[in-house]
Structure 1
Amino acid sequence: MKPNFSELARIYGIDRRTVKKYYEGYEGKPKNRNKPSKLDKYYDEIKSKLAIKGVTVKGVYEYLKSKDETIGTYSNFNKYVKKKGLKPEKKVKGHPRFETDPGEQAQVDWKENIKLVSRNGEEFVINVLDFKLGYSRYCCFEINRTKTQEELIESLIRIFKDIGGVPKEILFDNAAAVVDITGEKIKVNSRFKSFAKDFGFEVKLCKPRHSIMDLMSLRFLEGNENILFVGTPGVGKTHLATAIGIECAKRRYSTYFIHFQELIAQLKKALLENRLEYRLKHFSKYKVLIIDEIGYLPIDNDGANLFFQLISSRYEKSSTIITTNVVFSEWGEIFGGATIANAILDRLLHHSYVIFIKGPSYRLQSKTVYFSNTNQQN
């Protein structure tokens, strides 16, 4: 006998169509919906990409989105990865940082035969002396054409003047300018030992870490740390910043390169057009922002305030790479006052690597050789 759906609906206080639906066999919505996902067709590709060491979920998402704009939001992509168990393995925990007392220790290493190519296709081969203080991690880079003992000693003397003192001990690798190697015996050569004695530091032989290679590992991104390259024109600051930026982009971190004057011009234009907030958000969204050539030209108060707002919005949230030819004590001249300059530096330097590069301009290297040869012929 067919039931009276209207009567049952009145008794239970529900719609008669609902009663009929359940009478005809409806069991309610399933607890687990097997609805297919737009991402299912990319399952194998997502799995293979996340298996690559160092690749992030965000990086794979950006990669797929560049191919297919319809894959949805990052939030849904991340949920899909978790649901399918595709989350990459946890990173290996870092080793404890080795600490020394102030003035106790420094380390020196050579980065050899670095090739730089100019916009005109000229190739320059350089050697970089890397000097790092153990306590503050303060770095000095000296660019040399050779690795002679004479150049090493001259570079160290300049660095000692720069840092205002000499550490108690300096770590060196087995460079020919420092040690004599006879068979399996390694000892500090007599001339360098005399130099160390005169300047009051102890030579220790080891294999120190490479600062540039540390930066190329991109560990600085984990702590949202900044990098500031300081040096005279033509010593390779932009080359180094660009190399790090390319490595970041290869690993799918959002990266943006802009000249300082162009950045200020865009912010000032946005202010006039009443869309400053949008433009600040645009520059703040990048994981790595490279700002090139701070200090070549001064800016007005409006420009300084706009730059401060940008740096404040990125502070402790993402990494900023700066190149400048002006030492920090003179940044007040760039930004029109010490107060705003100190506020900017306070946020840039709080979590940062500061790398000073010294040496001759490699843009002028070929010209210097040309004039030198011309003078000799005359």
Structure 2
Amino acid sequence: MTTTLRLQSCLKRLKLPTVARHAEALAREAEESRQGYLEYLCLLLETEVCQREENQQKARIQQARFPLIKTLDTFDFSAMPSLSKPKILTLAQGEFIDKKENVILIGNSGTGKTHLATAIAHAACRQRKRVRFVHAATLVDELLAAQAEHRLTKVEKQWRQHDLIVIDELGYIPFSKTGAELLFQFCSAFYERASLLVTSNLEFAEWTQIFGNDKLTAAFLDRLTHHAHILLMNGESYRFRQSMKRLESLPNA
């Protein structure tokens, strides 16, 4: 068996596919540039590590289940002058997740809450955080179904494996009494254990409309806001402004 075949066999058994793909090419480059054995080995292994990290990052982003990929470089901060860009950039660095803190984005429909929430969560995926994105109504439906099928404990355990959970559009649809109680129980389980990023079109004083009970609402807000960064995003619809810009750019608009 030739040296090349022996090497490929070993690399396959060791599960080093990137090393297997690049070993010969990098060996030729190393020989031409007179690199030492250790330098060549280091470069080869760094190639494997970089590829694995890239694959893992892609997997984390896929597992987060973002409806669309949004990043901060595509958000128009000039359209929301009351919003602190330095604050958002700081949150995107992920320290709040390490501290088990929450983020709450409150504002009118179309002001970019979901865009920012997705962008911050996407940055967290790149920082090796386990992230999951879900609409509030979808989450409550999942919890209700799990309870009916007697697998609520199993489902909640699966959710608790995440470092950050984005709950989008809380307040658009009111919940049943049981649904509200399950959501309260769900979020309470993450208190000081993981981070929640919540977006809502309702101010806190209106959250009773969601939960239908003053005491439950107060208890929910008490836990959610205890260690939280609260950002207000009220203003003209960001999507409306974007639509108007597109219309103005059309001929004869």
Q: Is 2:163 aligned against 1:287?
A: yes
4+ residue runs over 3 A deviation: 39-42, 113-116, 124-128, 366-373
Q: Is 2:197 aligned against 1:238?
A: no
Letter in 2 for 1:337: N
Output one character per residue of 1:215-255: Cα deviation in whole Å (capped at 9) or x when no partner: 01111012100000000000100000000111111122110
Name which of 130, 133, 139 aligns with 1:254. Answer: 130
Higher RCO structure, 1 or 2 (CA under 8 Å, sep 6+): 2
Find the residue that maps to 2:239 and give its secondary structure.
Answer: coil
| Residue equivalent to 1:317 | 193
Q: Is 2:228 aligned against 1:269?
A: no
Find the residue that maps to 2:147 and give its secondary structure.
Answer: helix
The answer to which structure has the higher helix fraction is 2
Could you tell me how far apart the structure 2 residues matched to 1:318 and 1:262 are?
A: 20
Could you tell me how far apart the structure 2 residues matched to 1:225 and 1:300 are?
A: 28
Name which of 193, 204, 220 aligns with 1:344. Answer: 220
| Residue equivalent to 1:126 | 78
| Residue equivalent to 2:99 | 223
| Residue equivalent to 2:232 | 356
| Residue equivalent to 1:104 | none
Could you tell me how far apart the structure 2 residues matched to 1:63 and 1:369 are?
A: 38
What is the TM-score with the length of structure 1 in the denominator? 0.46
Could you tell me how far apart the structure 2 residues matched to 1:369 and 1:268 are?
A: 42
Output one character per residue of 1:312-352: Cα deviation in whole Å (capped at 9) or x when no partner: 11110001100000001111111011111111111111111
Could you tell me how far apart the structure 1 residues matched to 2:14 and 2:156 are?
A: 36
Q: Is 2:74 aligned against 1:115?
A: yes
Output one character per residue of 1:288-326: Cα deviation in whole Å (capped at 9) or x when no partner: 100000001110110011001111111100011000000
Name which of 272, 296, 303 aligns with 2:172. Answer: 296
Letter in 2 for 1:126: S
CA contact (8 A) 1:301 1:336 kept: yes
Could you tell me how far apart the structure 1 residues matched to 2:246 and 2:100 are?
A: 45
CA contact (8 A) 1:257 1:290 kept: yes
Could you tell me how far apart the structure 2 residues matched to 1:364 and 1:319 are?
A: 31
Could you tell me how far apart the structure 2 residues matched to 1:294 and 1:333 are?
A: 11
Letter in 2 for 1:271: Q
Output one character per residue of 1:125-182: Cα deviation in whole Å (capped at 9) or x when no partner: 734435xxxxxxxxxx28xxxxxxxxxxxxxxxxxxxxxxxxxxxxxxxxxxxxxxxx
CA contact (8 A) 1:283 1:310 kept: no
Unaligned stretches of 5+ residues in structure 1: 1-38, 53-58, 67-112, 117-123, 131-140, 143-208
The answer to which structure has the higher strand fraction is 1
Computing the radius of gyration from Cα coordinates, the structure with the larger value is 1
How far did 1:115 drift? Answer: 3.3
CA contact (8 A) 1:254 1:288 kept: yes
CA contact (8 A) 1:299 1:335 kept: yes
Find the residue that maps to 2:165 and give its secondary structure.
Answer: strand
CA contact (8 A) 2:136 2:168 kept: yes
| Residue equivalent to 2:39 | none
Q: How many residues align?
A: 198
Could you tell me how far apart the structure 2 residues matched to 1:310 and 1:342 are?
A: 16
| Residue equivalent to 2:183 | 307
Could you tell me how far apart the structure 2 residues matched to 1:221 and 1:125 are?
A: 23
Could you tell me how far apart the structure 2 residues matched to 1:236 and 1:345 are?
A: 23
- C-alpha change, 1:128 and 1:369, in structure 2 (3 Å) is closer
Letter in 1 for 2:152: L
Q: How does 1:8-27 map to 2 (within 5 A)?
A: none
**Paired-residue identity, %:** 31
Could you tell me how far apart the structure 2 residues matched to 1:372 and 1:63 are?
A: 42
Could you tell me how far apart the structure 2 residues matched to 1:368 and 1:249 are?
A: 33
Unaligned stretches of 5+ residues in structure 2: 1-12, 17-41, 60-71
What is the TM-score with the length of structure 2 in the denominator? 0.68
How far did 1:363 drift? Answer: 1.9
CA contact (8 A) 2:93 2:124 kept: no
Name which of 241, 244, 247 aligns with 1:365. Answer: 241
